[in-house]
Amino acid sequence: MRRYTVGLLLAATLALPATAADRIHIASSSTVAPFVSMASEQFGRGGAFETPVVESIGSGGGLKLFCSSLADGSPDIAGASRRITEAEKKSCAASGVTDVTEIAIGYDGIVLATAKSAGPLALTGRQLFLAIAKTVPVGGKLVANPYKKWREIDADLPDLPIMVFGPAPNHGTRDMLAELPMSMACKGFPEIAALEGEARRIACQAVREDGAYVDVTADYTVILHKLEAEPAAVGILPFGYLDRNRDKIRAASFEGRMPSYDSIYDGRYALSRPLYVYVKKEHLRTTRGLREFLVELTADKASGKDGYLSEMGLIPLPDSQRKAEAQKAKTFPTL
């Protein structure tokens, strides 16, 4: 777990409920954390309010903490690289967290990356599924994934061991990996199409556990280090990490498209996804600067096309949508 914070530590903030409302607390996915951290730093420089504390613990972890309590000192904002689930909404409601506003802040893309020294790589959803799924169709049956090398899947792929460093289940990126390339690709296999309900979901989304796919529970800098140490490996990362580390890693193409600012913005890149923040409306009355921070985060100077978050790799929403989301930071409609 990595914390992005200036000033008081989170532990100190939680230990002092009398002053907890003086500092915004954000529990975030590791994809969203760099963006809300930069906005927090900019916000703190204004001098009128304390710099918010940002804790990077994954989408699932952030929303769990966000939903656990309405008390002062509990997170005011959760950052997520996926939408809140129905189960999470019920968890929030059970804790009295019923008035929540959802704000989309921009787009990101899931990137398949290799070390800079590795050769170019082009993958399809079908190839990625066969590389990392727990069970795959062979001879008309679903069996434990037997593939050890990429070339065993397709003769055009490298003659290298399959080694993929990817997000663990605490990351929202793992959820999107299951929903986008995995679930989409599995529909092309009649052996899986014949299954129903939970059996089909598991066949489509379960990731192999034999060492070819390695769960990374910490933030994505760990995957960067893994790729440097294992040049033959593939890493699954948010676009922002690729954009900030092009001197170390390179992207593979996916379904014939390279991830780029433009291909994610217009949706041509198949692994694009929106990023969100969730806000406790009740805390608007008790946490100083919460309204003002959300105005900062959604302002054109931050999340617009030429904003400082765009320079960090955030892909802005189309202008009309961005303006609509910025309006939510003023009216706070209930989710």
pLDDT category of residue 3 using cuts at 50, 70 and 90: very low
Clarify whether residues 244 and 115 are in a common domain.
yes
Interatomic CA distance for residues 316 and 303, integer angstroms = 6
Clarify whether residues 101 and 201 are in a common domain.
no
- Calculate mean pLDDT across residues 79-86: 94
More confident residue, 163 or 193: 163
% of residues, the chain, pLDDT over 70: 94
Residue with tokens 């809300």: 36
**Is it the case that residue 9 has pLDDT exceeding 80?**
no
Clarify whether residues 114 and 256 are in a common domain.
yes
CATH number of the domain where residue 169 is located: 3.40.190.10
Clarify whether residues 98 and 47 are in a common domain.
yes
Structure confidence by residue, pLDDT tens digits, 183-220: 888 889 999 989 988 999 999 999 999 999 999 887 78
Structure confidence by residue, pLDDT tens digits, 19-63: 447 899 999 998 899 999 999 999 999 989 999 999 998 899 999
pLDDT category of residue 311 using cuts at 50, 70 and 90: confident
**Is it the case that residue 137 has pLDDT exceeding 90?**
yes
pLDDT confidence of residue 4:
42
Q: Which helix (H) or strand (E) holds 55?
A: strand 53-56
pLDDT confidence of residue 16:
36
**Is it the case that residue 14 has pLDDT exceeding 90?**
no
Clarify whether residues 146 and 248 are in a common domain.
yes
Structural domain containing residue 253:
109-272
Clarify whether residues 102 and 121 are in a common domain.
no
**Is it the case that residue 181 has pLDDT exceeding 90?**
no
Please report, as a single letter, which amino acid is at residue 61. Answer: G
- Calculate mean pLDDT across residues 286-294: 96
**Is it the case that residue 2 has pLDDT exceeding 50?**
no
**Is it the case that residue 7 has pLDDT exceeding 70?**
no
**Is it the case that residue 8 has pLDDT exceeding 80?**
no
**Is it the case that residue 309 has pLDDT exceeding 50?**
yes
How many distinct structural domains can be found in the chain? 2
Number of C-alpha atoms within 13 angstroms, CB side, residue 39?
A: 30
Interatomic CA distance for residues 116 and 249, integer angstroms = 4
Last residue of a domain, one of 221, 249, 272: 272
Residue with tokens 């951290």: 37
pTM of the model: 0.80
Interatomic CA distance for residues 295 and 303, integer angstroms = 11
Structure confidence by residue, pLDDT tens digits, 224-281: 889 989 989 999 988 988 888 999 999 999 999 999 989 998 889 999 989 999 999 9
Q: Which helix (H) or strand (E) holds 63?
A: helix 59-67
Mean pLDDT over each residue of the chain, to the nearest integer:
89
Clarify whether residues 220 and 183 are in a common domain.
yes
pLDDT confidence of residue 134:
96
Structure confidence by residue, pLDDT tens digits, 103-124: 999 999 999 999 999 989 999 9
Clarify whether residues 96 and 65 are in a common domain.
yes
Number of C-alpha atoms within 13 angstroms, CB side, residue 235?
A: 29
Residue with tokens 């609509």: 324
Clarify whether residues 139 and 240 are in a common domain.
yes
